[in-house]
Protein backbone atom coordinates (compact mmCIF):
# COMPACT_ATOMS: atom_id res chain seq x y z
CA UNK A 1 0.00 0.00 0.00
CA UNK A 2 1.49 3.36 -1.02
CA UNK A 3 -0.69 6.49 -0.87
CA UNK A 4 -2.99 8.18 1.63
CA UNK A 5 -5.45 10.09 -0.58
CA UNK A 6 -8.36 7.84 0.43
CA UNK A 7 -7.32 6.92 3.96
CA UNK A 8 -10.44 6.44 6.07
CA UNK A 9 -12.75 6.23 3.03
CA UNK A 10 -15.00 3.30 2.14
CA UNK A 11 -15.46 2.54 -1.56
CA UNK A 12 -17.87 0.21 -3.38
CA UNK A 13 -16.78 -0.80 -6.87
CA UNK A 14 -19.30 -2.83 -8.84
CA UNK A 15 -17.84 -5.17 -11.41
CA UNK A 16 -14.76 -5.32 -9.20
CA UNK A 17 -13.85 -8.88 -10.13
CA UNK A 18 -11.92 -8.13 -13.32
CA UNK A 19 -10.79 -5.52 -15.82
CA UNK A 20 -11.32 -1.89 -14.97
CA UNK A 21 -13.17 -2.73 -11.77
CA UNK A 22 -10.30 -4.77 -10.38
CA UNK A 23 -7.81 -2.08 -11.35
CA UNK A 24 -9.90 0.54 -9.54
CA UNK A 25 -10.18 -1.63 -6.44
CA UNK A 26 -6.41 -2.03 -6.30
CA UNK A 27 -5.84 1.68 -6.91
CA UNK A 28 -8.25 2.78 -4.18
CA UNK A 29 -6.77 0.30 -1.73
CA UNK A 30 -3.30 1.48 -2.66
CA UNK A 31 -4.33 4.97 -1.57
CA UNK A 32 -5.65 3.80 1.80
CA UNK A 33 -9.33 3.07 1.19
CA UNK A 34 -11.33 0.11 2.45
CA UNK A 35 -12.71 -1.45 -0.72
CA UNK A 36 -15.80 -3.53 -1.44
CA UNK A 37 -15.36 -5.53 -4.63
CA UNK A 38 -18.85 -6.38 -5.89
CA UNK A 39 -19.32 -8.74 -8.82
CA UNK A 40 -21.71 -11.38 -10.13
CA UNK A 41 -18.51 -13.44 -10.57
CA UNK A 42 -17.83 -14.09 -6.89
CA UNK A 43 -14.57 -15.91 -7.59
CA UNK A 44 -13.31 -12.87 -9.48
CA UNK A 45 -14.34 -10.56 -6.64
CA UNK A 46 -12.54 -12.78 -4.14
CA UNK A 47 -9.40 -12.82 -6.28
CA UNK A 48 -9.42 -9.02 -6.23
CA UNK A 49 -9.71 -9.05 -2.45
CA UNK A 50 -6.89 -11.56 -2.11
CA UNK A 51 -4.61 -9.29 -4.13
CA UNK A 52 -5.48 -6.31 -1.94
CA UNK A 53 -5.21 -8.02 1.43
CA UNK A 54 -2.00 -9.70 0.33
CA UNK A 55 -0.53 -6.23 -0.17
CA UNK A 56 -1.70 -5.10 3.27
CA UNK A 57 -4.97 -3.43 2.34
CA UNK A 58 -8.57 -3.85 3.51
CA UNK A 59 -11.17 -5.33 1.19
CA UNK A 60 -14.42 -7.27 1.12
CA UNK A 61 -15.94 -9.36 -1.69
CA UNK A 62 -19.71 -9.40 -2.20
CA UNK A 63 -21.51 -11.42 -4.86
CA UNK A 64 -24.00 -9.12 -6.59
CA UNK A 65 -26.15 -9.12 -9.67
CA UNK A 66 -26.71 -5.37 -9.91
CA UNK A 67 -29.88 -5.87 -11.94
CA UNK A 68 -31.61 -7.43 -8.91
CA UNK A 69 -32.78 -5.12 -6.12
CA UNK A 70 -32.54 -7.71 -3.34
CA UNK A 71 -28.89 -8.44 -4.15
CA UNK A 72 -28.11 -4.73 -4.27
CA UNK A 73 -29.67 -4.26 -0.83
CA UNK A 74 -27.51 -7.12 0.44
CA UNK A 75 -24.43 -5.39 -0.99
CA UNK A 76 -25.28 -2.20 0.88
CA UNK A 77 -25.98 -4.05 4.12
CA UNK A 78 -22.77 -6.08 4.01
CA UNK A 79 -20.74 -2.93 3.33
CA UNK A 80 -22.30 -1.09 6.27
CA UNK A 81 -21.91 -4.09 8.56
CA UNK A 82 -18.23 -4.32 7.70
CA UNK A 83 -17.24 -0.65 7.49
CA UNK A 84 -20.20 1.35 8.92
CA UNK A 85 -20.34 3.91 6.10
CA UNK A 86 -20.08 4.40 2.33
CA UNK A 87 -18.09 7.36 1.02
CA UNK A 88 -17.61 6.51 -2.66
CA UNK A 89 -19.57 4.48 -5.19
CA UNK A 90 -18.14 3.47 -8.56
CA UNK A 91 -20.88 2.08 -10.83
CA UNK A 92 -18.65 0.02 -13.10
CA UNK A 93 -20.54 -3.26 -13.63
CA UNK A 94 -21.52 -3.67 -17.26
CA UNK A 95 -21.98 -6.02 -20.19
CA UNK A 96 -22.09 -5.55 -23.95
CA UNK A 97 -23.80 -7.56 -26.67
CA UNK A 98 -22.91 -6.17 -30.09
CA UNK A 99 -26.14 -6.36 -32.08
CA UNK A 100 -27.92 -3.97 -34.39
CA UNK A 101 -31.55 -3.09 -33.88
CA UNK A 102 -33.00 -5.90 -36.01
CA UNK A 103 -30.89 -8.53 -34.26
CA UNK A 104 -31.55 -7.20 -30.76
CA UNK A 105 -34.04 -9.53 -29.12
CA UNK A 106 -36.14 -8.52 -26.15
CA UNK A 107 -34.01 -10.79 -23.95
CA UNK A 108 -30.79 -9.10 -25.12
CA UNK A 109 -32.30 -5.66 -24.51
CA UNK A 110 -33.59 -6.58 -21.04
CA UNK A 111 -30.30 -8.11 -19.91
CA UNK A 112 -28.04 -5.35 -21.22
CA UNK A 113 -30.21 -2.46 -20.09
CA UNK A 114 -30.84 -4.34 -16.84
CA UNK A 115 -27.16 -4.43 -15.96
CA UNK A 116 -25.80 -1.26 -17.56
CA UNK A 117 -28.67 1.15 -16.83
CA UNK A 118 -31.00 -0.39 -14.24
CA UNK A 119 -28.01 -1.67 -12.27
CA UNK A 120 -26.57 1.83 -12.00
CA UNK A 121 -29.99 3.08 -10.90
CA UNK A 122 -30.50 0.34 -8.28
CA UNK A 123 -27.07 0.56 -6.68
CA UNK A 124 -27.11 4.35 -6.50
CA UNK A 125 -30.64 4.36 -5.08
CA UNK A 126 -29.55 1.95 -2.35
CA UNK A 127 -26.36 3.81 -1.44
CA UNK A 128 -27.40 7.46 -1.73
CA UNK A 129 -29.55 7.60 1.46
CA UNK A 130 -26.48 6.73 3.54
CA UNK A 131 -24.50 9.49 1.84
CA UNK A 132 -27.35 11.96 2.39
CA UNK A 133 -27.39 11.10 6.07
CA UNK A 134 -23.70 11.99 6.37
CA UNK A 135 -23.95 14.91 3.89
CA UNK A 136 -21.03 13.61 1.87
CA UNK A 137 -20.44 11.31 -1.05
CA UNK A 138 -18.90 10.72 -4.44
CA UNK A 139 -20.61 8.72 -7.18
CA UNK A 140 -18.74 7.91 -10.38
CA UNK A 141 -20.69 6.22 -13.16
CA UNK A 142 -18.77 4.35 -15.83
CA UNK A 143 -20.49 5.30 -19.08
CA UNK A 144 -18.93 5.02 -22.55
CA UNK A 145 -18.25 7.14 -25.58
CA UNK A 146 -21.01 5.02 -27.12
CA UNK A 147 -23.43 7.06 -25.02
CA UNK A 148 -22.04 10.24 -26.58
CA UNK A 149 -21.46 9.23 -30.17
CA UNK A 150 -23.73 6.30 -31.02
CA UNK A 151 -20.64 4.22 -31.68
CA UNK A 152 -21.82 0.79 -30.60
CA UNK A 153 -24.87 -1.50 -30.51
CA UNK A 154 -28.46 -0.45 -29.91
CA UNK A 155 -28.97 -1.62 -26.32
CA UNK A 156 -25.47 -0.67 -25.14
CA UNK A 157 -25.65 2.81 -26.66
CA UNK A 158 -29.10 3.40 -25.17
CA UNK A 159 -28.01 2.20 -21.74
CA UNK A 160 -24.85 4.30 -21.62
CA UNK A 161 -26.67 7.40 -22.87
CA UNK A 162 -29.14 6.78 -20.05
CA UNK A 163 -26.29 6.57 -17.54
CA UNK A 164 -25.10 10.01 -18.65
CA UNK A 165 -28.61 11.40 -18.29
CA UNK A 166 -28.96 10.01 -14.77
CA UNK A 167 -25.55 11.44 -13.88
CA UNK A 168 -26.75 14.96 -14.71
CA UNK A 169 -30.08 14.79 -12.89
CA UNK A 170 -28.54 13.17 -9.80
CA UNK A 171 -25.85 15.85 -9.68
CA UNK A 172 -28.58 18.46 -9.30
CA UNK A 173 -30.69 16.38 -6.91
CA UNK A 174 -27.91 15.65 -4.44
CA UNK A 175 -25.74 18.77 -4.58
CA UNK A 176 -27.49 20.17 -1.46
CA UNK A 177 -26.07 17.20 0.46
CA UNK A 178 -22.49 17.74 -0.78
CA UNK A 179 -22.69 14.65 -2.95
CA UNK A 180 -20.91 14.90 -6.30
CA UNK A 181 -22.08 12.70 -9.17
CA UNK A 182 -19.94 12.42 -12.28
CA UNK A 183 -19.20 9.98 -15.08
CA UNK A 184 -16.26 8.74 -17.09
CA UNK A 185 -16.69 7.72 -20.72
CA UNK A 186 -14.00 5.24 -21.74
CA UNK A 187 -13.34 4.40 -25.36
CA UNK A 188 -11.97 1.04 -26.47
CA UNK A 189 -10.17 -0.44 -23.46
CA UNK A 190 -8.19 -3.66 -23.39
CA UNK A 191 -10.19 -5.66 -20.83
CA UNK A 192 -11.53 -9.24 -20.79
CA UNK A 193 -14.89 -8.00 -22.11
CA UNK A 194 -13.22 -6.76 -25.32
CA UNK A 195 -10.62 -9.50 -25.76
CA UNK A 196 -12.49 -11.48 -28.43
CA UNK A 197 -13.20 -8.40 -30.53
CA UNK A 198 -9.63 -7.08 -30.26
CA UNK A 199 -8.27 -10.34 -31.68
CA UNK A 200 -10.25 -9.98 -34.92
CA UNK A 201 -9.38 -8.05 -38.06
CA UNK A 202 -12.05 -5.50 -37.12
CA UNK A 203 -10.36 -5.06 -33.75
CA UNK A 204 -7.08 -4.27 -35.44
CA UNK A 205 -8.77 -1.71 -37.69
CA UNK A 206 -10.33 -0.04 -34.66
CA UNK A 207 -6.93 0.11 -32.97
CA UNK A 208 -5.52 1.90 -36.02
CA UNK A 209 -8.29 4.52 -35.86
CA UNK A 210 -7.66 5.50 -32.23
CA UNK A 211 -5.03 8.27 -32.09
CA UNK A 212 -3.43 6.79 -28.96
CA UNK A 213 -4.43 3.16 -29.64
CA UNK A 214 -6.35 0.90 -27.28
CA UNK A 215 -6.38 2.03 -23.68
CA UNK A 216 -5.86 -0.13 -20.61
CA UNK A 217 -7.64 -0.14 -17.26
CA UNK A 218 -4.68 1.80 -15.92
CA UNK A 219 -5.54 4.52 -18.47
CA UNK A 220 -9.02 4.99 -17.02
CA UNK A 221 -8.63 4.33 -13.29
CA UNK A 222 -6.84 7.64 -12.53
CA UNK A 223 -9.82 9.57 -13.92
CA UNK A 224 -12.17 7.62 -11.66
CA UNK A 225 -9.95 8.23 -8.63
CA UNK A 226 -9.75 11.94 -9.45
CA UNK A 227 -13.54 12.23 -9.57
CA UNK A 228 -13.72 10.32 -6.27
CA UNK A 229 -11.23 12.54 -4.47
CA UNK A 230 -11.36 15.90 -2.71
CA UNK A 231 -9.56 17.34 -5.73
CA UNK A 232 -12.89 17.25 -7.61
CA UNK A 233 -15.10 18.71 -4.87
CA UNK A 234 -16.29 21.51 -7.20
CA UNK A 235 -17.05 19.21 -10.12
CA UNK A 236 -20.43 17.56 -10.50
CA UNK A 237 -22.72 16.49 -13.34
CA UNK A 238 -19.80 16.13 -15.73
CA UNK A 239 -18.52 13.42 -18.04
CA UNK A 240 -14.77 12.95 -18.37
CA UNK A 241 -13.97 11.27 -21.71
CA UNK A 242 -11.02 8.86 -21.59
CA UNK A 243 -10.81 7.45 -25.10
CA UNK A 244 -7.33 8.06 -26.50
CA UNK A 245 -8.69 10.78 -28.77
CA UNK A 246 -11.18 8.54 -30.61
CA UNK A 247 -14.13 10.89 -30.24
CA UNK A 248 -12.25 14.05 -31.20
CA UNK A 249 -12.69 13.43 -34.91
CA UNK A 250 -13.97 11.05 -37.54
CA UNK A 251 -10.78 9.51 -38.89
CA UNK A 252 -11.09 8.62 -42.57
CA UNK A 253 -7.61 7.14 -42.66
CA UNK A 254 -4.09 8.29 -43.53
CA UNK A 255 -4.82 8.29 -47.26
CA UNK A 256 -7.30 11.10 -46.68
CA UNK A 257 -5.31 12.99 -44.04
CA UNK A 258 -2.08 13.05 -45.98
CA UNK A 259 -3.16 12.93 -49.64
CA UNK A 260 -1.63 16.33 -50.33
CA UNK A 261 1.43 15.98 -48.08
CA UNK A 262 4.31 17.86 -49.62
CA UNK A 263 2.08 19.88 -51.93
CA UNK A 264 1.43 23.55 -51.54
CA UNK A 265 -2.13 24.82 -51.28
CA UNK A 266 -3.29 26.96 -54.21
Strands 179-186 and 58-63: unpaired
Sheet holding 179-186, edge to edge: 58-63, 34-39, 10-14, 88-91, 137-142, 179-186, 239-242
From 156, 177, 214, 234, the catalytic residue: 156
Calpha distance 221→234 (Å, rounded) = 20
Q: What is the DSSP letter of 230?
A: G
Q: How many helices (H) and strands (E) are present in the chain, helices listed first?
A: 11, 7
Give the up-direction half-sphere exposure of residue 226: CA atoms within 13 A in the CB hemisphere.
15
Contact between 18 and 39 (Cβ < 8 Å): yes
Residue ranges in 55-118 assigned as alpha helix (H) = 69-83, 106-113
Residues 6 or more apart whose CB falls under 8 angstroms from that of 2 comprise 30, 31
Compute how many other C-beta atoms are within 10 angstroms of the C-beta atom of residue 36.
29
Compute how many other C-beta atoms are within 10 angstroms of the C-beta atom of residue 84.
10
156 is a catalytic site residue: yes
Beta bridge partners of 61: 37
Active site residues: 156
Amino acid sequence: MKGTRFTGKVVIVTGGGSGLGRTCCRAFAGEGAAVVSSDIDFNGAKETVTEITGAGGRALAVKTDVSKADEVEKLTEETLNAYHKIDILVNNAGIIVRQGLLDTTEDIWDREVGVDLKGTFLVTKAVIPHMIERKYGKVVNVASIAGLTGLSSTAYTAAKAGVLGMTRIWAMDFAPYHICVNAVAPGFIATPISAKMRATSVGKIIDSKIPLGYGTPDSVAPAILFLSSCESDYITGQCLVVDGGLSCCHDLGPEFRFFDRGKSCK
